[in-house]
Amino acid sequence: MMNNNNSSKYSSQTKEFQKPKNRRKTLLRLLSYVSYYKKVFILAIVLSLVSNALSLIGPYLTGEALGLFDASHIDIQRVLIICAIMACFYIFSAVFNYILAIIMAKVSQKVINKMRSDLFNKLASLPLKNLDTMQIGDLIARMSYDIDAISVTLSTDFVSIFTSVFTIIISFIMMLIISPWLSLIFFVTIPITVLVTSKMSKKIRFRMRLRNNSLGVMNGYVEEMISGIKTIQSYSRQADIVKSFAALNEEAANKTYDAGYVSSVLGPTTNFINNISVGLVGILGVVLFIFKLIMFGPLASFILYSRRFSGPINNISSLYADIQSSLAATERIFSILDLENEEEIRDVQASLNLTLHGNVEMKHVDFSYDLLKPILKDINIEKTLGKKVAIVGPTGSGKTTIISLLMRFYNIDKGDILVDDHSIYDLERNLERGLFTMVLQDSWFFYGTIKENLTYGNKNVSEEEIISTCQSVGIHSYIMSLKDGYDTILVEDGINISKGQKQLLTVCRAILSKSKILILDEATSNVDTATELKINKAMLKLMENRTSFIIAHRLSTIKTSDIILVLKDGQIVERGSHQELLALNGFYRQLYNSQFD
């Protein structure tokens, strides 16, 4: 659903990228990706220069051929030879352009491959505090639309602009050689063209950035609504989300129109200026020809070179919008790449040599998400090796936050967290996280077979272990009832099986991981009573000789825990066994009685 508050949230996000960016820095960083394949890129530049040099000889040869018609006796043989040479030059130029297109397509895909890999790797290594503030749809837009925009620029635009500049320079030099007087025209029109292009390019870049950001916000909204479509339909709020999407879609369309309008005006404007210059060349050229100040052949060559001179300017103007769009897309990607990864310790190797058993402690831990509102205050948990530690409390008391801190999804503000007397902040992150296996309230599966999902945490388990574990949990018979058994494909987060079955498979995966520490966060919340009893029975075996942290709202499931920590408003207000806490007749007893009254 999307209420007015959410509407303003999405609208405000479209203003995020309105500040001017450093175009030069962005371009240099983009070219740094090309430097990984600089040998091939240099070859492409050389081919481009040779191809254009060959084609630029054409106007000169044309003038030479036409100049022969000024003589009283026309040398047809020489005319044919010049035409043949000119044809060869154009053929070789076309061949080189064909090879150039293939090379640049390969280079651009290699660059895009690396950039997309860098972006995905960055997303995989970002702290949750960053990912929590990002829309999935917007990230997907950066991985797809923005990357594709850069691909087009790398494959065609860069070389096209480079060759256009080369063509402009050579054509202008040839025009100066042929007729300095006619060339004076361009000393007037070129500054006008540069001024117009410079002014309009700033507007184009700004609007392209707004367009890309608006599209990202719209994609994020679409992804969010599709993922929650069941809830939306159950509340009959389809009309609301359609209305909200229409507003975002209209905003994206308006931003796209604004960007397209400004960029489309640039090409015709520069083309108009260049057409005026060519027209003036024709008029002045005729005057000079009448007064015998220029011959017909050189005049023809000059006119052809003026067209070759004007064409690339128009080409650059039309490509400028694409490049501005690409630079805006590049900025969006670099804004992710510039985020800091999860902090890591300095001596990773020393950490890897440790053998850890899973004895967890928390000492005077304080934590807040925004440093303004404390979430956890002075949390202390004594050594827990091999114990079953239950964490209970009302919603929002900080139960799941403690688990997030143990997993180092967030860093604490104060205190310390220890594993086997080693601060977790002195341990290599993946080593420390490898101690844990989590069974969460919302299970997650990737596209693949049931067997592949079961062995996600441990690839070395045997097929016998898989079957035995599934039997102990009570899911084996269901798996075998499927057409392909353990080779059945789970699609799109396992939507082709029920939530209860997914939770049973998650428990199996946790057992097979053989980790030292187990985290159960409402692990049986999505199953019926009979299935819950089967899972709890399997859990008892799973938790043997392991340190276990259990989060549960149903207090009947944690009676056998060695110690129960009772949270209220981010503080541990009571601790002890089930019977000890009932005997206290305090907050725990109130929670317990409230579930049975």
- DSSP 8-state secondary structure symbol assigned to residue 135: -
CA distances 377 to 27, 129, 516, 573, 581, Å, are: 47, 20, 27, 11, 21
Report which of residues 254 and 554 the model is more confident about: 254
Strand 414-419 versus strand 448-449 pairing type: unpaired
Q: How far, in Å, CA of 502 to CA of 478, rounded?
A: 11
The pTM (predicted TM-score) of the whole model is 0.63
**Which pLDDT score is estimated for 10?**
43
Q: Which residue has the tokens 């310390």?
A: 416
Nearest to 504 by CA among 480, 477, 531, 464: 531
Domain 4-337 carries which CATH code?
Answer: 1.20.1560.10
Least confident of 35-39, 176-180, 239-243: 35-39
Q: What is the 3-state secondary structure (H, E, C) of 503-524?
A: HHHHHHHHHHHCCCEEEEECCC
318 confidence band (pLDDT: 50, 70, 90): low
pLDDT at 346 over 60: no
Provide the percentage of residues in the chain whose pLDDT is more than 70. Answer: 86
pLDDT, tens digit, 9 for 90 and up, residues 295-312:
878 888 888 888 777 777
pLDDT at 344 over 60: no
**Would you say 223 and 217 are in contact if contact means Cβ atoms under 8 Å apart?**
no
Buried b (16+ CB within 10 A) or exposed e, 200-235: bbebbbbbbbbbbbbbbbbbbbbbbbeeeeeebeee
State both tokens at 109: 């895909």
Residue 417, H or E segment: strand 414-419
Q: How far, in Å, CA of 555 to CA of 537, rounded?
A: 16
Q: Which CATH superfamily is domain 360-594 in?
A: P-loop containing nucleotide triphosphate hydrolases (3.40.50.300)
Q: How far, in Å, CA of 448 to CA of 50, rounded?
A: 51
Report which of residues 250 and 193 the model is more confident about: 250
pLDDT, tens digit, 9 for 90 and up, residues 397-410:
888 889 888 888 88
Nearest to 592 by CA among 558, 548, 568: 558
State both tokens at 583: 């005997």
Average pLDDT over every residue of 219-233: 74
pLDDT at 20 over 50: no
- DSSP 8-state secondary structure symbol assigned to residue 429: H
**Which pLDDT score is estimated for 365?**
93
Q: Where are the domains of the chain?
A: 4-337, 360-594
Q: How far, in Å, CA of 215 to CA of 201, rounded?
A: 21
Q: How far, in Å, CA of 128 to CA of 408, rounded?
A: 10
Q: How far, in Å, CA of 541 to CA of 343, rounded?
A: 36
- DSSP 8-state secondary structure symbol assigned to residue 22: -
Q: What secondary structure does DSSP assign to 86-127, as a single string? A: HHHHHHHHHHHHHHHHHHHHHHHHHHHHHHHHHHHHHHHHS-
For the chain, the distance separating the N- and C-terminal CA atoms, rounded to the nearest angstrom, is: 35
Q: What secondary structure does DSSP assign to 342-410, as a single string? A: PP--S-HHHHHT------EEEEEEEEESSSSSEEEEEEEE---TT-EEEEE-STTSSHHHHHHHHTTSS
What torsion do the CA atoms of 360, 366, 371, 374 make, to the nearest 10 degrees?
Answer: 120
Average pLDDT over every residue of 121-131: 78
pLDDT at 366 over 90: yes
- DSSP 8-state secondary structure symbol assigned to residue 35: G
Nearest to 310 by CA among 281, 341, 351, 346: 281
**Which pLDDT score is estimated for 377?**
92
